[in-house]
Amino acid sequence: MMDARTWRVGCRCLLLLALVGSTRSEGVQSCEEVRKVFQWRLAGAVKGLPDSPRPGPDLQVCTSKKPTCCTRKMEERYQIAARQDMQRVLQTSSSTLKFLISRNAAAFQETLETLIRQAENYTSILFCNTYRNMALEAAASIQEFFTDVGLYLFGADVNPEEFVNRFFDSLFPLVYNHLINPGVTESSLEYSECIRMARRDVSPFGNIPQRVMGQMGRSLLPSRTFLQALNLGIEVINTTDHLYFSKECGRVLLRMQYCPHCQGLTLSKPCMGYCLNVMRGCLAHVAELNPHWHAYIRSLEELSDAMHGTYDIEHVLLNFHLLVNDAVMQAHVDGQNLSARVNKICGRPIRSPTQSPRCSFDGIKEKHGMKISARNGEETLANRRKEFINSLRLYRTFYGGLADQLCVNELAAADGLPCWNGEDIVKSYTQPVVGNGIKAQSGNPEIKVKGSDPVINQIIDKLKHVIQLLQGRSPKPDKWELQMGSGGGMLEQVSGDCDDEDGCGGSGSGEVKRTLKITDCESICGKLPIADIAGAYIRRRIIKLHLTISVLLT
């Protein structure tokens, strides 16, 4: 009995004989097979299609001296199909890359939101456990601060310097009323506002607000830029997935893919060299993306590698509450001096007795997520970034080799098989094969490439811009000039080294380790694009503010 290998070899030989034989005959005798394929692949009506080959003087592209199974209307349908097929193979070839970037962009967004919630919980727990009398009054300021952190990360036009100052401005009246001048706790709104305004003059928290500004700027800005760059990567792929091909490209795609059908050669595939010339010509402008795409991935890698220590948002946010505690303690220790200075600026308060609401954390609060939970230290944001960059690095030359990839994986005949050369079935393609890129197309025997593509040029400009941003946000080993805020703000030089003053060594109750658990990215791949993130984020935060206050009051 014939084994499987012998059977496959036999079938291959029969196919070779059929293909070669068709080129030696005077042409096909029936168009039945062409009609079937046309109806199956294009869902076209078979009425009016030739039953047998006939002259085709009205054909524009699939011309032949032999009788043909195609009509002018069939040729027009085939041309549309050739363009659709091209877009399909482009989308197939980029699907893995697109999924890699989009799922990680969604995962980073989800992780940052989780990180912000965790840092906010740490800060709320600090007040409820250590400064209970202030906890309820501090809740809104804590919520506002971390809302601003999220908005900035997700691209909103907010200034880190402003929201850091706003937080410490609002904290000082609480510290003054409850720690520095305790007892009868309720002062007038006007007096509290005066204390708030005096904070920057009396500096009750020492240099801690400036340290927080530096840490927030150094960590938030690179993370914001990294997330925006990922969304641009998705935009680049979406653009190249839906390119509009020139009329000349449409004609050569038709000749390569469907003109063989007109001669009854429905099973034929183009020769490898022929396919490369056609695809390298049609994708010549896309190939110009390659050096910029390569630089884009390299810049992402450099920024990711640099995001550690005081540039690591995970470290900075999860240790923010320690700096807040240090700030409160410093004001408390210097209370007598601060009280005298505030009295000079604002006068002595007129107070009325009151009882400040207290908060307590129990099982009810834990149900609302206001707790510190153990995490797997291996699943940090930095580890996730490293895994992503390692995978993305494999696609550095994606656009330079796209045409070759399509021919090898999808379109062209295997080596050694008879193939279509644009006119007939042959044993091999004999024309010279050109390289990739616009300059190489001057000698392309299959297609003439003219001018430039404005869509590709626009994408190149965007890539150049984001590369500059990525490189500008990559901390250097010695000094890095950071422009804080979205529209200006404080310009400072900071050291790339991580020391105790920056918060790397912890303080007070000890450093919180970077052990944030990463959410499974498979469950969040449907995230909103970055333009919609800030709006959705602020809506969720407003709801959470009401929830937090109600929880604290229970």
pLDDT tens, position by position, 157-187: 999 999 999 999 999 999 998 888 876 455 6
State how far the Cα of 156 lies from the Cα of 146, in Å rounded to an integer: 13
The reported pLDDT for the residue numbered 29 is: 78
What is the model's pLDDT at position 528?
Answer: 39
Q: Distance (Å, rounded) from C-alpha 416 to C-alpha 472?
A: 52
**Which contiguous run of DSSP H or E holds residue 342?**
helix 335-346
495: amino acid identity, one letter? S
pLDDT at 540 over 60: no
pLDDT at residue 17 greater than cutoff 90: no
Percent of the chain scored above 90 by pLDDT? 52
pLDDT of the residue at 520? 36
Cα(319)–Cα(498) distance, integer angstroms: 14
pLDDT at 370: 46
Judge contact between 548 and 139, C-beta under 8 A: yes
Least confident stretch, 79-88, 120-129, 388-397, 506-515: 506-515
Instruction: Report which of 17, 14, 74, 44 is spatially closest to residue 263, judged by C-alpha positions.
Output: 74
Round to whole Å and give the CA distance between 137 and 176: 13
Helix segments in 154-246, DSSP class H: 160-175, 189-202, 208-241
Q: Are 87 and 242 in contact, with CB atoms under 8 Å apart?
A: yes
Among candidate residues 301, 259, 251, the one with its CA nearest the CA of residue 281: 251
Q: What is the pLDDT of residue 51?
A: 86
The mean-pLDDT minimum among 264-273, 350-359, 515-524 falls in 515-524
Whole-prediction pTM value? 0.76
